Amino acid sequence: MTDPRRQRRIWYAVGAVLVVAFLAYGTTSFKSNLTPYVSFEEASRMGSKVQVAGGLVENSTKYLDATEELEFAMVDEDGNTMTVHYNGVKPGNFEEAVQIVAIGSYQEGVFSAEQLLVKCPSKYQGLEDDVRKYGSET
């Protein structure tokens, strides 16, 4: 054991095993944590964690006192609607969102979102529209 070369080799081996184990752990949790973008219809079939995108159905937002959740309806490009429940604070600009991305899973008729991403009619977006309208000198 006092042979420094041998000792070094042992440490290298231990380190390598740890690194490999970590990489394996990382890869699996990376893969299992990926949330693919799917359509409403696929989301309702899959039941696993996914993300869906759509517009907010106007005036569909309400706060459910009983479950302390926000409820609203989303509509996708094909016109399908889906009820979403979200147990969190309503993001800023929610009502004015051009698109909402909900990350969660479909359970018992509603999509339970863990996270909402709100795409504002952002100034970036608005800016682009105006550029298209007026043109811009570059």
Partner 1 sequence: MYLPGTILMWTALLAGLASTITYWLSIREPERWRGPARQSYVLMTFAIVVGSALLMYLLVTHDYRLHYVWAYSDNLLPLHYLISTFWGGQEGSFMLWIFWGVLLGLPLMRFSRAYESRVMVVYNLTLLSLILLLVKQDPFRFHQGLTAAMTPMDGQGLNPLLQNPWMVIHPPIMFIGYASLGIPFAFAIAALWMKRYDEWTKVSMPWVLLSLGSLGTAIMLGGYWAYETLGWGGYWGWDPVENASLVPWLATLALTHGMLLQRGRGRFRRLNLVLATAAFLLVVYATFLTRSGVLADFSVHSFVDLGITGMLVFNMVFFLLLSIALLLYRWREIPAEVGDEPFVSRTIFFVVGILLTILIGVVVLFGTSAPLISRLWGAPAQVGPDFYNRMSFWLAVVFALFVGGTPFLGWSRTRKKVGRIFAITLAITAGLLVVAFAFGLRGVPATVYIAAALFNIVANGWAVLDYGRNGRWRMAGGPVAHIGLGLLLLAFLTTGWFDREQKVRLAEGEPTEVLGYTLTFRGVEKPTPQARDAMVVEVTTPRGQNFVLKPRMWVNQKTNQLIANPDIKAFFTKDLYVAPVEFEPGKDAPVSSRMVLAKDQPTSFRDWSLTFQGFDLARQNAVPGALTVGVVIKLERPGAAPVELEPSMVSTDEGVQPVAVDIPEVPGAKIRATGMSVDDGVVRVEILGLGGGIGRTVVMAKGETVNYQGLNIAFDDFDMSDFDPEAGKINFGVVFNVEVDGQTIEVIPTYRGGMGGEPVITPAVVPGTGGITLSPGRIDAEGGTVQLQVYDPSLAPKGAAPASLVLDVSTKPLISFVWVGTIMVLIGIVMAIVLRRKDVATIPVEG
Q: Which residues of this chain interact with partner 1, rule CB under 8 A?
A: 4-5, 7-8, 11, 22, 25-26, 29-30, 33-37, 49, 51, 53, 63, 65, 68, 70, 88-96, 101, 103, 114-115, 117-128, 131, 134-138
- Cβ proximity to partner 1: between 37 and 83 the closer is 37
DSSP structural state of residue 89:
P
* Lookup: tokens for 45: 């079939």
C-alpha gyration radius of the chain: 24
- Cβ proximity to partner 1: between 57 and 120 the closer is 120
- Residues 80-103 as b or e (16 or more Cβ within 10 Å = b): eebebbbeeeeeeebeebeebbbb
Report in angstroms how near the CB of residue 31 gets to partner 1 at its nearest: 9
* Lookup: tokens for 97: 């969102």
Report in angstroms how near the CB of residue 81 gets to partner 1 at its nearest: 21
Q: Is 71 in contact with 83 (CB distance < 8 Å)? A: yes
- Cβ proximity to partner 1: between 17 and 127 the closer is 127
